[in-house]
Amino acid sequence: MGMKAIIIDDEKKARHLLRMMLEENCPAIGQIEEAADLPSGARLIRSLRPDIVFLDIEMPGYSGTQILDFISPEEVDFELIFTTAYSEFALKAFDLNAIDYLLKPLQEEKLIRAVDKVVKKGSATQNGRNLTELNNTFQAGQFQKIGLPQSTGTLFIEIPHLIMLQADRMYTRVFTTQPAELLVSKPLKYFLDLLDGVPGFYQPHRSYLVNLQHIREYSTRNGGQILLDHDLTASLSREKKDEFLQLMGI
């Protein structure tokens, strides 16, 4: 039978195009149903119990991000992929909350990759939590938490609680106001892109990203070091020294 998919989009042409792309490129999907708005889409989700839902954000009446107004987080036992035209705030919110999305106009290659990811993942146990955090972000109108990929799902950390991130080859060591150090299987560049535009973060060295709110002292030792809360230390590269001192008003 294959996987079951639901397309929720108010534009009939958009639904038809996505259906055609799925039928032609994603043989793992055996059944596709459609809904033109969020309320009818939620009813369809309950009756069909899909494996994957493609949900448009910009719909009249209700935004796709309001899906938890119609189903509970416990009912989100499917993979959800938002489809959206470009919105800088929305895309940053998706990234920070570990939510998948596809930009319109849809590209076949990216659609295939997104569906393959769902097939390989095989579990959607934490998607309700991710959506809850996404909903909180949109309601607050600002970025509050960051989702850190873990082997068991996604760990959410409040952004002000991040002290420092340190590159460790293809991993990143994440230091927070909690005593524990987290090792995340993502390179530092992943977090540089993720936190780009989020106020308060600075890269003093190619191997470090620091939260300026947690800086305690600047030291001239070892060519320049930044001392942070919890006795953490970040290197300051020679070419960044003047910029950093000016930034800190020193």
DSSP letter for each residue of 145-196: EEEEEETTEEEEEEGGGEEEEEEETTEEEEEESSS-EEEESS-HHHHHHHTT
The average confidence (pLDDT) of the chain is 88
Q: Output 126 or 166, whichever has higher pLDDT.
A: 166
**pLDDT average, residue stretch 37-43:** 94
pLDDT digits 0-9 by tens, 150-196: 877 788 899 999 999 999 999 999 999 987 789 999 999 999 998 98
In sequence order, the 6+-apart residues with CB closer than 8 A to the CB of 164 are 175, 208, 209, 210, 211, 214, 228, 232, 234
- Give just the sign of the alpha carbon dihedral 66, 69, 70, 75: positive
Rg of the chain on CA atoms, in Å: 21
CA distance between the termini of the chain = 66
pLDDT band at 85 (very low <50, low <70, confident <90, very high): confident
| Per-residue confidence (pLDDT) for residue 49, from 0 to 100 | 94
In sequence order, the 6+-apart residues with CB closer than 8 A to the CB of 99 are 80, 82, 93, 130, 131, 134
Cα–Cα distance measured from residue 193 to residue 204, given in angstroms and rounded to the nearest whole number: 15
pLDDT digits 0-9 by tens, 89-119: 778 888 887 788 899 999 999 999 999 988 8
